Chains A and B, each alone.
Chain A
């Protein structure tokens, strides 16, 4: 139980294009979803938190107009990197929390999406 998937697993795009990454909770309803970014040899950095049906809350320094987050249902959240540039190349990881094993606060992570912007 508590499986989270991401799609695509990797993407290569040209500078200036937009890239959408999907995050799905497969066997539970995710009341909250989180998006992280991770650079090589570094820890995960929280970008934003989203609750189903409401606007995402972005961490300081994260441009909400560049990283568009939509949490349209209890099983799906999307992150769109708009007008991507090489410095946006990174490993993007989503996580979801919901009522699993009696607790709602525990995060379950997706496998990540590797983005390379040329």
Chain B
């Protein structure tokens, strides 16, 4: 059972870079780390996924250290529309998909 731990909430201002770290100490060898964004009354939206080192796409970067026991989602220059709940999920075959409480990001003007 891959359990994750994240900060419950974070505040930021528009234009700042936001880094959200997730701990997943019992990640298995074949597991990937996926981050989702959820707005109220909507399903989670896939943001980024990685296995190790660094992954970057048009909306975010994901940093994973060599031991893979944690990962950091980096959102460059956040805007008000980035206010949402962010979940990290360890995904792999045979895992029970346990969503943690997520991180509630509030972006202030």
Among the listed stretches A39-47, A70-78, A80-88, which one makes contact with chain B, having 4 or more residues with CB under 8 Å of it?
A39-47
Known pairs A43-B102, A44-B99, A112-B41; A106 contacts B46 (CB<8 A): yes
Q: Are B44 and A109 in contact (CB under 8 A)?
A: yes
Known pairs A112-B41, A112-B43; A105 contacts B99 (CB<8 A): no
How many of B's residues come within 8 Å of A, CB to CB? 22
Q: Which A residue's beta carbon lies closest to that of B101?
A: A43
Nearest-neighbour CB distance to chain B for A100, whole angstroms, equals 10
B87 on the A face (CB < 8 A): yes
Does more than half of chain B's interface fall in helix, strand or loop, or is it mixed? Answer: loop
Choice from B32, B43, B89 contacting A111 with Cβ under 8 Å: B43
Q: Are A43 and B99 in contact (CB under 8 A)?
A: yes
Q: Which B residue's beta carbon lies closest to that of A105?
A: B91
A19 on the B face (CB < 8 A): no
| Cα of A59 to Cα of B98 in the assembled complex, Å | 11
A67: which B residues are within 8 A, CB to CB? none
Q: Are B87 and A34 in contact (CB under 8 A)?
A: no
| Cα of A45 to Cα of B32 in the assembled complex, Å | 20
List CB contacts (< 8 Å) of A86-106 with chain B.
Answer: 91, 93, 95, 103, 105-106
Measured CB to CB, the residues of A under 8 A from B are 2, 4, 6, 34, 36, 42-46, 59, 91, 93, 95, 103, 105-112, 114
- Enumerate 8 A-B pairs (CB-CB under 8 Å) in ascending A order: A4-B43, A6-B43, A43-B100, A46-B97, A91-B41, A93-B44, A106-B46, A114-B41
